[in-house]
């Protein structure tokens, strides 16, 4: 899922300066799962804004803010100065497309594509490089999980299974080593991974997929 985190209230209030009628728009998908921008978080944020003295704060939570189909009904709502989206950056942008004349502000910081590790703990797993290599790295992604995105093994700073950059972070290459060992595939570590083609990643410019087979 896309993992996000709410911005500090002071920052949000700063964005809303001068606005009196705000519609807070939540999303039922990823940000609900990671407890950053679902119906509940919308209610909490809206209350905080009312307490801060805003004249009118509306609340709406849609199924998926990344899908215009679910956003379209919002156009019926009238009389707002601005929208505050508690979706990821994708939802903020799509709402902006739907309301070109109204400011749409981000209430969250979109952090990463990741998993729910434990109660209240999420961590990154994928950088959407566009050309998956997990078959070669024991199912653990060094692009997302090694601080230096190394493709040919650990740097000299891997110590006791942890990354030198942050002792809370597992060394991706330690994980890869352990996984390949468990699978009996340690020989994979001997193959040189040549420079990666990053053109499928964001480096190739904004990406778009068009599929004729599902197009109308």
Partner 1 sequence: MKAGSRLEKVLTAGHFAVCGEMGPPRSADAKAIRDKAQYFRGYVDAVNVTDNQTAVVRVSSIASCLILQEEGVEPVVQMTCRDRNRLAIQSDLLGAAALGLKNVLCLTGDHQSFGDHPTAKNVHDIDSIQLIWGVDQMRKGRFMGGDEIKVPPQFFIGGAANPFGDPFAMRVPRLAKKIKAGCDFIQTQVVFDVPRFARWMELVRERGLHREVYIMAGVLPTRSVRALRYMQQDVAGVSIPDECIQRMEKAADPAEEGVKMAVELIQQLKEIEGVAGVHLMPVMWERIIPRLVEEAGLYPRPVVDDD
* Chain residues in the site for partner 1 (CB under 8 A): 147-161, 164-165, 171, 173-174, 177-178, 189-190, 192-196, 198
| 72 vs 165 by CB, closer to partner 1 | 165
| 9 vs 150 by CB, closer to partner 1 | 150
Instruction: Give the shortest CB-25-to-partner 1 separation in angstroms.
Output: 31
| 73 vs 153 by CB, closer to partner 1 | 153
Give CA–CA dist 122/118, Å, rounded.
7
Instruction: Give the shortest CB-158-to-partner 1 separation in angstroms.
Output: 5
| 52 vs 165 by CB, closer to partner 1 | 165
| 55 vs 197 by CB, closer to partner 1 | 197
Instruction: Give the shortest CB-137-to-partner 1 separation in angstroms.
Output: 13
Cβ 102 vs Cβ 83: under 8 Å = yes
3-class SS letters over 81-135: CEEEECCCHHHHHHHHHHCCCCCEEECEEEEEEEEEEECCEEEEEECCCCCCCCC
Cβ 94 vs Cβ 29: under 8 Å = no
Q: Which of 89, 34, 91, 90 is nearest to 60 (CA)?
A: 91
Give CA–CA dist 211/216, Å, rounded.
10
Instruction: Give the shortest CB-164-to-partner 1 separation in angstroms.
Output: 3
Instruction: Give the shortest CB-159-to-partner 1 separation in angstroms.
Output: 5
| 60 vs 164 by CB, closer to partner 1 | 164
Helix (H) or strand (E) holding 175: helix 172-182
3-state secondary structure of 187: helix
Instruction: Give the shortest CB-155-to-partner 1 separation in angstroms.
Output: 5
Give CA–CA dist 75/19, Å, rounded.
19
């Amino acid at each position: 899922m896309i993992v996000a985190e709410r911005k500090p209230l002071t920052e949000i209030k700063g964005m809303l300066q001068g606005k009196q009628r705000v519609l807070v728009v939540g999303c039922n998908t990823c940000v609900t799962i990671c407890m950053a921008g679902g119906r509940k978080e919308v209610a909490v944020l809206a209350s905080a804004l009312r307490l801060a003295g805003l004249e009118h704060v509306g609340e709406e939570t849609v199924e998926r803010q990344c899908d215009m189909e679910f956003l379209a009904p919002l156009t019926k709502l009238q009389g707002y100065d601005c929208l505050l989206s508690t979706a990821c950056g994708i939802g903020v942008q799509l709402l902006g497309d739907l309301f070109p004349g109204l400011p749409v502000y981000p209430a969250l910081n979109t952090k990463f594509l990741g998993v729910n590790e434990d109660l209240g703990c999420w961590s990154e797993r994928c950088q959407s490089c566009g050309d998956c290599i997990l078959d070669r790295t024991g199912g653990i992604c060094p692009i997302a999980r090694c601080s230096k995105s190394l493709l040919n093994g650990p740097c000299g700073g891997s110590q006791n299974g942890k990354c030198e950059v942050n002792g809370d972070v597992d060394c991706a290459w330690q994980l890869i080593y352990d996984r390949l060992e468990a699978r009996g595939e340690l020989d994979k570590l001997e193959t040189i991974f040549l420079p990666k083609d990053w053109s499928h990643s964001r480096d190739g410019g904004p990406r778009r997929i068009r599929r004729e087979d599902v197009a109308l």
